[in-house]
Structure 1
Amino acid sequence: MWTVAVTLCQITDDNLRSVLAVRTTPGQERFVSSVATSMAEAADCPEANPWFRAVYVDDKPVGFVMLSWDVEPRPPEIIGPWFLWKLLIDHQQQGRGYGREVVQEVVRLVRDQAATELLTSYAPGEGGPAGFYARLGFVPTGEVEPDGEIIARLDLHE
């Protein structure tokens, strides 16, 4: 597998339209919401301290990532302190290692903030992201969100 350089860029008026055009496959829509819905969730839940970026390769947006950034956990509504809330790679760009690289970049960023773990959640089911997260080292915690999503943890100790 080759290494790709992804860049996490702020979403601005200049790139908003192209970032909103990023889409998963129709079969993945039950596992992750659209960029527009994710940004609306961020606006509706400021107490989760949402941090989101467009994922770029060269000068093209290929995905979107959103975290709860160093929050006081208040389960089940707010998981944290470091929670990978959304990750999506455009359906035309999948299979190129971009998702893996985004998670590795997020890990670098949160480690720089002295984070010792990164949490995420995913819906179980055929075609879902469970295998992707397992390959990256995430392990289910045994906890399940009220909507049925499995909470998984990545240990960030070096």
Structure 2
Amino acid sequence: MAELRLEELSARTVVAANALTLKPGQEQFVAPVSYSAAAAVADPNTSWQRVVLDGDEVVGFIMGNFDPQAEHEEFKAILWRINVDADDQGRGIGTFAVRALADEARARGHERLYVIWESGELGPEQFFLRSGFKPVSETQYGETVGALDL
């Protein structure tokens, strides 16, 4: 594995990010990267989108959002999406991306980073727990709200 690095999502990398594959059953828990790219266009001042590269290959994508004016605390600094290519899962790529987002949140003065996930056998819950997020509440739809103290 070459050294992992982050790069802003760009016209050059968006196609590769959108082509990331998931393991069977994971697709129900993750929206396509193209949804995230569209959200960034809608509000580029709050959206933080990066691809994870291993050498020159895009192996992951992460999207965070920072909105200090958000009405709800969990939306002030939140991990919205993380995708790691199916063939590259289990290599520390997701952990690398979450740490980078946490560093960005800390640099922006946040004390907590949040994430919301849906429970399920093939869902992301175990990844988020291993990454240090702790369940703090539930949404009205029964999803878990997790927080990572920075």
Shorter-chain TM-score: what band?
Answer: 0.7 to 0.9
How far off is 1:47 after superposition? 8.6
**In 2, Cα distance between equivalents of 1:79 and 1:39:** 21
Task: Name 1:7's counterpart in structure 2.
Answer: 5
2:66 to 65, 69, 72: 69
> Any unmatched runs of 5+ in structure 1?
none
> Any unmatched runs of 5+ in structure 2?
none
Contact between 1:4 and 1:97, CA under 8 Å: does it hold in 2? Answer: no
How far off is 1:48 after superposition? 8.4
- Taking a change above 3 Å as real, the CA distance of residues 48 and 30 of structure 1, as seen in their structure-2 partners, is farther
**In 2, Cα distance between equivalents of 1:121 and 1:155:** 15
How far off is 1:74 after superposition? 2.9
Contact between 1:8 and 1:54, CA under 8 Å: does it hold in 2? Answer: yes
Task: Name 1:51's counterpart in structure 2.
Answer: 48
Task: Name 1:98's counterpart in structure 2.
Answer: 93
How far off is 1:108 after superposition? 1.6
More helix by share: 2
Residue 25, structure 1, aligned to residue 23, structure 2: yes
Percent identity over the alignment is: 31
**In 2, Cα distance between equivalents of 1:34 and 1:101:** 20
**In 1, Cα distance between equivalents of 2:144 and 2:89:** 23
**In 2, Cα distance between equivalents of 1:90 and 1:21:** 9
Contact between 1:7 and 1:56, CA under 8 Å: does it hold in 2? Answer: yes
Contact between 1:4 and 1:98, CA under 8 Å: does it hold in 2? Answer: no
How far off is 1:67 after superposition? 0.8
Contact between 1:140 and 1:152, CA under 8 Å: does it hold in 2? Answer: yes
Tell me the matched-pair count.
150
Code of the aligned partner of 1:63 = G
State the secondary structure of the residue aligned to 2:28: coil
Contact between 1:19 and 1:54, CA under 8 Å: does it hold in 2? Answer: yes
How far off is 1:4 after superposition? 7.3
